Chain A
Amino acid sequence: MAKSYMQVKGLVKRFGPFTALNGVDLEVFPGEVHALLGDNGAGKSTLIKILAGVHQPTSGRIFIEDDEVQFRSPRDASAAGIGTVYQDLALNQLMSVTRNFFMGRELKGRLGVLRTKEMDKIAHDEMLKIGIDISDPRQAVGTMSGGQRQTLAIARAIYFGAKVLILDEPTSALGQRQQMEVLKTMMRVRARGDIAIIFITHNEIHSNLVADRFTFLALGQVIGAGTKTELAGEDIRRLMAGGAEMKDLAHELAAI
């Protein structure tokens, strides 16, 4: 079996009296899509915020290639190769594709002068690698479709060294066609073989289409995990509903 890139063991996070995560384990492998599923409030956001260095865990350990790491800030996490693409994508609409691509990490020459041409070319090429050919890297991000923006954010994370790519509900705010574009983009990243993708979603169909491995969270705990073959389709649906039997739900609904 392939070696995992990142391993999370017994992660606990408490916010005062509230336990957001109660001992979560997670293992991600390069060249795989790992779907992280769970209802609202299951702890998905807390988990990725810890992995992204935004929050520090109360207890538990994170290993990157067998070395234990501690993220004190988002900078630590991205230095360790964790690239997070949040739902809002952290893009600025009024700025050009290139300016967004290099935002905060500009290539500069003497006196802080931007190496504009080089940056344009890199932004264009990196997006082309994962499937979108933008005609003009100087166009404002505001003129791009949701799928294109998602691709820009992913390409940016990869270019700046992400080995674990965390995608926070990348398909949720998009139309049908663009959802498919994003899934294709994910599969192209997966095909590179060196990047592990954590795919956070509510959508059972999407996760079934692209994921190799699943982890289900409910009330801050892992209630099911395994590879696609280990978990049958019915199992996935049951776990998606937070462990409650769909049949029970059907009865409850009928009774109303």
Chain B
Amino acid sequence: MADRSESDRLKQESWYQKTIRRPEIGSFVVMIVVIIALALASDGQAFNALGLKNNIAIIAQFGIIATGAALLMIAGEFDLSIGSMIGFAGMSMAMMMKWGLPFGLGEATPFTAFLITLCMTLFLGWMIGNIVVRSGLSSFIVTLAFLFVLRGTTEVAFRLINKSTQISGLPDFKETSWFAELMGGEVFGWFYDLWFEFGGNLNRKGEQWVSGFDARFMWWIIIAGAAYFILSRTQLGNWIYATGDDKEAARANGVPVNKVKIGLFMFTAFCATMFAACQVFDTNTSDAAKGNLKELEAIAIAVVGGTLMTGGFGSVIGVVFGAVTVGLVANAVFFIPWIDGSWFRVFVGTVLLAAVFANERIRKRITGGI
């Protein structure tokens, strides 16, 4: 008994035990269940060549903004302005493409339109971050204000300049601009080529059916990959966790808490802008209502992926699983004709609640202590 020290009370766990206690495990199991259920209910339609492309398109959309929302949540803040930021960025890019650059700078190219829009959205993110950290107000309220302000600004700007709250019939910039192709074109064509080589991916005439994924798939991989790397392997990642866990403790140890938060508000603005750019240059349209409710879906996915509402804990892998789950269910109505599309919301709400309970258990297990 005497040679037993306090640290012996922490049981060493086997690989299996460690795996099933990982925070991502819940979202992983839910994802697998959804994949199997959808495959069965849609008779495999959801994962044929076109089904896969369409599913990945919406999963990637969700994934891009959920990554931003999750990192910010880990640092202890929320951003309710993501959806309005998407609408604002989409409006900004489409209007520049249609009416030219502001201040008489001449014709816009997709790249310049994107760059100027990104400067504006990053500035907005920086401003939101500054208001939150300097005022000490809840980010819930500050970003809720921006939810209204940005949506209203988007509508007013549309009506003032464009006389209508939507833009359609823009030329297809993908044919002339490398940048539009990069945002709205196709990627990973080799995947579908290979599929064709192996005798699948055929249309009714027996030709190759689908030629590639939407470019946003690549952007999702890049953004989520970078976020994973930063969060788990770098100094900045440690600062993000530290900021969200106990910001006074972090500050006492020299972590620049405010800079971390402001930077992450800019990151969610960046994610929203990427979302909008992929959408605008894919469809060559824009609409003042774009991105509506997306902020709440992004937060829901982050929570389903195991991110704690209180901050300090979460994983990008979990958020990837969450995005797959929510994306598949959102799209399910297209593959299962007899289902009412509104079941999507019922599902998300239910899974969200279950996830919050599961996350709370994880938090208690970690902080319960000896």
Chain A residues within 8 Å of B, Cβ to Cβ: 74-75, 86, 88-95, 99, 102-106, 108, 111-114, 116, 132-136, 139-140, 142-145, 147-148, 181
How far does the alpha carbon of A16 sit from the alpha carbon of B317 in the complex, in Å?
Answer: 53
Contact A142 B7 (CB under 8 A): no
Contact B250 A135 (CB under 8 A): no
Contact B10 A90 (CB under 8 A): no
Q: Chain B, 341-370, contact with A by CB distance < 8 Å: what is the 0/1 string?
A: 000000000000000000000010011111
Min CB–CB distance B256 → chain A (angstroms): 9
**Which residue of chain B is the closest to A147 with respect to CB atoms?**
B6
Given A95-B241, A114-B238, A139-B10; A74-B252 close (CB under 8 Å): yes
Q: List 5 A-B contacts (CB under 8 A).
A: A92-B242, A95-B241, A134-B7, A140-B366, A145-B6
How far does the alpha carbon of A75 sit from the alpha carbon of B254 in the complex, in Å?
Answer: 8
By a CB distance below 8 angstroms, the chain B residues around A136 are: 10, 12
Contact B7 A103 (CB under 8 A): no
How far does the alpha carbon of A133 sit from the alpha carbon of B9 in the complex, in Å?
Answer: 12
User: B217 interface residue, CB < 8 Å from A?
Assistant: no
Min CB–CB distance A79 → chain B (angstroms): 11
Chain B residues within 8 Å of A, Cβ to Cβ: 5-8, 10, 12, 233-239, 241-242, 245-246, 248-250, 252-255, 308, 312-313, 363, 366-370
By a CB distance below 8 angstroms, the chain A residues around B245 are: 92-95
By a CB distance below 8 angstroms, the chain A residues around B253 are: 90, 103-105
Min CB–CB distance A133 → chain B (angstroms): 6
How far does the alpha carbon of A75 sit from the alpha carbon of B253 in the complex, in Å?
Answer: 9
By a CB distance below 8 angstroms, the chain A residues around B370 are: 143-145
Min CB–CB distance A156 → chain B (angstroms): 8
How far does the alpha carbon of A147 sit from the alpha carbon of B9 in the complex, in Å?
Answer: 14
Min CB–CB distance A158 → chain B (angstroms): 15
By a CB distance below 8 angstroms, the chain B residues around A140 are: 366-367
How far does the alpha carbon of A199 sit from the alpha carbon of B248 in the complex, in Å?
Answer: 23
Contact B241 A94 (CB under 8 A): yes
How far does the alpha carbon of A255 sit from the alpha carbon of B99 in the complex, in Å?
Answer: 91
Q: Name which of B234, B237, B312, B369 has the most chain A CB atoms within 10 A of its CB.
A: B369
By a CB distance below 8 angstroms, the chain A residues around B7 are: 132-135, 148
Given A102-B238, A104-B253; A135-B10 close (CB under 8 Å): yes
How far does the alpha carbon of A142 sit from the alpha carbon of B367 in the complex, in Å?
Answer: 4
Q: Describe A's contact surface by its main secondary structure.
A: loop
How far does the alpha carbon of A74 sit from the alpha carbon of B235 in the complex, in Å?
Answer: 21
By a CB distance below 8 angstroms, the chain B residues around A92 are: 241-242, 245-246, 249-250, 312
How far does the alpha carbon of A75 sit from the alpha carbon of B255 in the complex, in Å?
Answer: 12
Given A92-B249, A140-B366, A143-B370; A112-B5 close (CB under 8 Å): no
Which listed residue (A99, A134, A145) contacts B241, Cβ 8 A?
A99
How far does the alpha carbon of A89 sit from the alpha carbon of B236 in the complex, in Å?
Answer: 22
How far does the alpha carbon of A134 sit from the alpha carbon of B308 in the complex, in Å?
Answer: 27
Contact B252 A90 (CB under 8 A): yes
By a CB distance below 8 angstroms, the chain B residues around A108 are: 234-235
Min CB–CB distance A90 → chain B (angstroms): 4
Q: Name which of A89, A95, A106, A181 has the most chain B CB atoms within 10 A of its CB.
A: A95
Which listed residue (B6, B233, B252, B313) contacts A148, Cβ 8 A?
B6
By a CB distance below 8 angstroms, the chain B residues around A103 are: 238, 242, 249-250, 253, 255
Min CB–CB distance A98 → chain B (angstroms): 9
Contact B366 A143 (CB under 8 A): yes
How far does the alpha carbon of A94 sit from the alpha carbon of B305 in the complex, in Å?
Answer: 17
How far does the alpha carbon of A135 sit from the alpha carbon of B370 in the complex, in Å?
Answer: 14
By a CB distance below 8 angstroms, the chain A residues around B250 are: 92, 103-104
By a CB distance below 8 angstroms, the chain A residues around B8 are: 135
**Which residue of chain B is the closest to A54 with respect to CB atoms?**
B252
How far does the alpha carbon of A112 sit from the alpha carbon of B238 in the complex, in Å?
Answer: 11
Contact B249 A90 (CB under 8 A): yes
By a CB distance below 8 angstroms, the chain B residues around A148 are: 6-7
How far does the alpha carbon of A94 sit from the alpha carbon of B241 in the complex, in Å?
Answer: 8
By a CB distance below 8 angstroms, the chain B residues around A133 are: 5, 7
How far does the alpha carbon of A83 sit from the alpha carbon of B367 in the complex, in Å?
Answer: 26
Contact A94 B313 (CB under 8 A): yes
Contact A111 B363 (CB under 8 A): no
**Which residue of chain B is the closest to A108 with respect to CB atoms?**
B235
By a CB distance below 8 angstroms, the chain B residues around A105 are: 253-254
Contact A112 B249 (CB under 8 A): no
Min CB–CB distance B110 → chain A (angstroms): 30
Min CB–CB distance A73 → chain B (angstroms): 10
Contact A104 B241 (CB under 8 A): no
Closest 10 CB pairs between A and B?
Answer: A104-B254, A92-B245, A142-B367, A104-B253, A90-B252, A90-B249, A106-B235, A112-B234, A94-B312, A103-B253
How far does the alpha carbon of A103 sit from the alpha carbon of B8 in the complex, in Å?
Answer: 25
Q: Name which of B250, B308, B363, B366 has the most chain A CB atoms within 10 A of its CB.
A: B366
Contact A112 B366 (CB under 8 A): no
Q: A108-B234, A116-B233, A181-B6 are in contact. List 8 more A-B contacts (CB 8 A).
A: A90-B246, A92-B250, A93-B366, A103-B238, A103-B249, A103-B250, A140-B366, A145-B369
